[in-house]
């Protein structure tokens, strides 16, 4: 097994912008040192072995987040140079993508989300602010949230008509976008690494493997604080669709399935994934299917897989792409799975080769057999 260090790699990544200025970035994407970690870079490597549809005019730099509109097939992708939106059109088994608009932040963009009415996009990043982009109306973006350090996560909570932002300044803030000051500032024990909301459940993952659970019916008080069931740095979290628990993924190729009810703790389990022999890769993204409530994992091994937590089995393993998959998402009805293939900066700037590190965004059309849950197999429940 590869030897791991829990130390977060910071201040080691150099980003190049179009104006040839270099920014140094404290990189939470860095997934600690991996002695056996390699990224295929040969000219014969295939970035698209699953024959997914390629999104036109992808970002010129690494993709940090993907987010579909909850109302239509508009896809927003943020990257370390700007933010773009594409309109996705589907005709049977064929998909076309059309670039619609783009905006820029002053520094790398790390996160994005849509307002529930599908008209507006929020994005945040290393410029320590969140911009609200009235995309469908063609309006200009405006700043609606500020932190003292880069903003790693952003979520719109329609039941509260508030925006939640999580930052490396160790705070979680709630914002009424009509006001300049936050409605409430919640202190976190460490830097925010990941955040997930399924009202009334919100889970915030921070450094030092903290998982802070909030009941948004009383958002100013922590409902529960949990040490991650995984031994290494948290990379991503995803609330169950029924709000009874959550998934957590780590840099050590492992996912934890955790129920909140103390009476349901016997149902908790962890499983290994995104591993190849002795090589162990980060789990970068967790996404529940909006219809079947199975879920997808995507990792730095360049693979994405579909799973059923209830029967504890993998439904489909996809072929590995030639670069990591930093982020992924389903569209609103689960008929399209979007994922990016690009360098994830886990090995820093010294291992980044601009000549081979092209960024891609792909669209996969899941078959029902890939994403619909299956009965438990045998007595072990593991396939």
What is the per-residue pLDDT across 367-383, written as a single tens digit (0 to 9) for each?
999 999 988 766 454 44
Average pLDDT over residues 345-359: 83
What is the per-residue pLDDT for 136? 86
What is the per-residue pLDDT for 350? 87
What is the per-residue pLDDT for 8? 30
Residues 6+ apart with CB under 8 A from 264: 244, 245
Q: To the nearest whole number, what is the mean pLDDT of the chain?
A: 88
Contact, 270 vs 243, CB < 8 A? no
Residues for the chain: how many in total?
A: 383
Lookup: tokens for 167: 């930052």
Q: How far is CA 180 from the centre of its chain?
A: 27
Which among 8, 106, 6, 93 has a CA at the least distance from the CA of 51? 93
C-alpha to C-alpha distances, 72 to 43, 140, 318, nearest whole angstrom:
37, 21, 26
DSSP 250-310: ETTSEEEEEESSGGGGGG-EEEE-SEETTEE--EEEEEE-TTT--EEEEETTS-EEEEETT
138 vs 68, more confident: 68
Which three-class secondary structure state does DSSP give residue 326?
coil
Of 156-160, 247-251, 287-291, 355-359, least confident by mean pLDDT is 355-359
Is the sign of the CA dihedral 43, 47, 50, 51 positive or negative? Answer: negative
Given a cut of 60, whether residue 137 has pLDDT beyond it is yes
341 vs 383, more confident: 341
pLDDT per position as a tens digit, 297-317: 999 999 999 999 999 999 999
Q: What are phi and psi of 232, to 5 degrees?
A: -125, 175
User: Given pLDDT bands bounded at 50, 70 and 90, which one contains residue 9?
Assistant: very low
pLDDT per position as a tens digit, 77-125: 999 878 999 999 999 889 999 999 999 888 999 999 999 999 999 999 9
- What pTM did the predictor assign? 0.89
Contact, 338 vs 363, CB < 8 A? yes
The domains of the chain, with CATH numbers, are 13-37+57-76+162-371 (2.130.10.10)
- Angstrom distance (rounded) from CA 157 to CA 1: 41
Lookup: tokens for 61: 């730099």
Q: First and final CA of the chain: distance in angstroms?
A: 22
pLDDT per position as a tens digit, 35-59: 333 444 434 589 999 999 999 999 9
Given a cut of 50, whether residue 70 has pLDDT beyond it is yes
What is the per-residue pLDDT for 44? 53
What is the per-residue pLDDT for 349? 85
CB atoms near residue 180 (< 10 Å): 11
Given a cut of 90, whether residue 13 has pLDDT beyond it is no
Of 59-63, 239-243, 292-296, least confident by mean pLDDT is 59-63
What is the per-residue pLDDT for 319? 97
Lookup: tokens for 264: 């349901």
- Angstrom distance (rounded) from CA 156 to CA 216: 12
- Angstrom distance (rounded) from CA 51 to CA 68: 21
């Amino acid at each position: 097994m590869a030897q791991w260090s829990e130390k977060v790699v910071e201040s080691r990544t150099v980003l190049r912008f179009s104006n040839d200025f270099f920014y140094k970035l404290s990189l939470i994407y860095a997934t600690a040192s991996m002695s056996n970690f390699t990224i295929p870079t040969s000219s014969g490597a295939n970035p698209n072995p699953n024959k997914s549809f390629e999104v036109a005019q992808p970002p010129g730099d690494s993709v940090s987040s993907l987010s579909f509109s909850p109302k239509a097939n508009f896809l927003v992708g943020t990257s370390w140079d700007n933010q773009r939106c594409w309109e996705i059109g589907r005709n049977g088994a064929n998909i076309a993508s059309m670039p619609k608009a783009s905006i820029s932040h002053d520094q790398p963009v790390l996160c994005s989300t849509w307002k529930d009415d599908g008209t507006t996009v929020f994005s945040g990043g290393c410029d320590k602010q969140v911009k609200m982009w009235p995309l469908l109306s063609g309006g200009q973006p405006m700043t609606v949230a500020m932190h003292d350090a880069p903003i790693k996560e952003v979520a719109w909570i329609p039941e509260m008509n508030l925006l939640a932002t999580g930052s490396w300044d160790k705070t979680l803030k709630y914002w009424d976008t009509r006001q300049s000051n936050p409605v409430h500032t919640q202190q976190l024990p460490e830097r925010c690494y990941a955040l997930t909301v399924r009202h009334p459940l919100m889970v915030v993952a921070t450094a030092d493997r903290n998982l802070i659970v909030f009941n948004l019916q009383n958002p100013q008080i922590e409902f529960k604080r949990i040490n991650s069931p995984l031994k290494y740095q948290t990379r991503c979290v995803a609330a169950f669709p029924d709000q009874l628990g959550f998934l957590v993924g780590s840099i050590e190729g492992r996912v934890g399935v955790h129920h909140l009810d103390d009476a349901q703790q016997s149902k908790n389990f962890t499983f290994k994934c995104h591993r190849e022999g002795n090589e162990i890769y980060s789990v970068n993204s967790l996404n529940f299917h909006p219809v079947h409530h199975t879920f997808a994992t995507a990792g730095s091994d360049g693979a994405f897989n579909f799973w059923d937590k209830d029967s504890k089995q993998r439904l489909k393993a996809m072929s590995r792409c030639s670069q990591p998959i930093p982020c992924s998402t389903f569209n609103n009805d689960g008929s399209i799975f979007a994922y990016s293939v690009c360098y994830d900066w886990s090995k820093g700037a010294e291992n980044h080769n601009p000549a081979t590190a092209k960024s891609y965004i792909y669209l996969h059309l899941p078959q029902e057999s890939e994403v619909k849950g299956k009965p438990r197999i045998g007595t072990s429940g593991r396939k």
